[in-house]
A and B are shown apart, each in its own frame.
Chain A
Amino acid sequence: MSSLTAWLMDPNPKSRLQSRAAQTWLSWLRFRRNPLAMIGLMISLALIFMSVFAPVLAPHDPIAQSLADRLQPPLTPGHWMGTDDFGRDIWSRILFGSRITLYIVLLVILTAPVVGLVIGTVAGYFGGWVDAVLMRITDIFLAFPKLILALALVAVLGPGMVNAVLAIALTSWPPYARVARAETLTVRNSDYIAATRLQGASSARLIWGHVMPMCLPSVIIRVTLDMAGVILTAAGLGFLGLGVQPPLPEWGLMISAGRKFLFEQWWVATMPGLAIFIVSLGFNLLGDGLRDVLDPRSAK
Chain B
Amino acid sequence: MADSSTVPEHHPALRFFRQSASTVVSLIITFLGLLAVTFVIARIVPTDPVMAILGERATAEQIATERTKLGLDDPMWMQFGIYVNDVFHGDLGTSIRTREPVLKEVGHYFPATLELSTLGILIGIVIGVPAGVLSATKPGSLLDQAVRLIGLMGYSMPVFWLGLMGLLLFYGHLGWVGGPGRLDSTYDMMLDFKVPAVTHMILIDTALAGEWDMFRNAIFHIILPASILGYLSMAYISRMTRSFMLNELGQEYITTARVKGMPERRVVWVHAMRNVAVPLITVIALSYASLLEGAVLTETIFAWPGLGRYITDALMINDMPAVLGGTVVVGAVYIGINMVSDFLYRLADPRAR
Contacts and interface: CB of A to CB of B under 8 A. Distances in A.
Nearest to B308: A148
A264 to B, nearest CB: 9
A152 B152 contact: no
Interface stretch (A53-61, A78-86, A206-214, A273-281): A273-281
B37 A144 contact: yes
A148 B164 contact: no
A36 B290 CA distance: 27
A285 interface: yes
Interface string B321-349: 00110110011001100100000000000
Interface string B1-40: 0000000000000000000000000100110011011100
B296 A277 contact: no
A13 interface: no
A236 interface: yes
B161 A276 contact: yes
B157 interface: yes
Main secondary structure of the interface of A (DSSP, over half): helix
A255 B34 contact: no
A95 interface: no
Interface residues of A, number: 46
The 10 closest A-B pairs by CB, nearest first: A140-B33, A273-B161, A281-B156, A280-B156, A145-B293, A263-B172, A152-B327, A155-B315, A143-B30, A143-B335
A151 B319 CA distance: 13
Interface stretch (B41-49, B61-69, B87-95): B41-49
A151 B296 CA distance: 10
Interface in A93-146: 136-137, 139-141, 143-146
A157 B45 CA distance: 7
A221 to B, nearest CB: 15
Contacts of A242: 315
Interface of B: 26, 29-30, 33-34, 36-38, 41-42, 44-46, 139, 149, 152-153, 155-161, 164-165, 167-168, 172, 289-290, 292-293, 296-297, 300, 311-312, 315-316, 318, 320, 323-324, 326-327, 330-331, 334-335, 338
B30 A155 contact: no
A156 interface: yes
Interface in A251-285: 252, 255, 259, 262-263, 266, 269-270, 273, 276-277, 280-281, 283-285
Nearest to B297: A236
B160 to A, nearest CB: 5
A185 B211 CA distance: 60
Contact of B164 (A153, A273, A277): A273
Contacts of A145: 289-290, 292-293, 330-331, 334
A144 B328 CA distance: 9
A146 B160 CA distance: 16
A232 interface: yes
Contacts of A280: 155-158
A144 B331 contact: yes
A153 B40 CA distance: 10
A269 B159 CA distance: 13
Contacts of B293: 145-148
A137 B149 CA distance: 36
Given A151-B296, A252-B158, A285-B152, 8 more contacts: A140-B37, A144-B34, A152-B327, A228-B156, A236-B158, A240-B297, A240-B312, A273-B158
A21 interface: no
B154 to A, nearest CB: 10
Given A152-B324, A156-B41, A239 B292 contact: no
B219 to A, nearest CB: 23
A155 B38 CA distance: 12
Contacts of A228: 155-156
Interface of A: 36, 136-137, 139-141, 143-149, 151-153, 155-158, 228, 232, 235-236, 239-242, 252, 255, 259, 262-263, 266, 269-270, 273, 276-277, 280-281, 283-285, 288, 300
B34 A143 contact: yes
Contacts of B297: 147, 236, 239-240
A273 B44 CA distance: 34
Contacts of B29: 136, 140
B76 to A, nearest CB: 17
Contacts of B318: 155
A224 B327 CA distance: 29
B315 A151 contact: yes
Given A145-B330, A155-B323, A281 B161 contact: no
A140 B34 contact: yes
B96 to A, nearest CB: 13
Nearest to A259: B164
A277 B334 contact: no
A96 B108 CA distance: 43
Contacts of A36: 149
A156 B40 CA distance: 10
Nearest to A145: B293
Nearest to B338: A143
A236 B331 contact: no
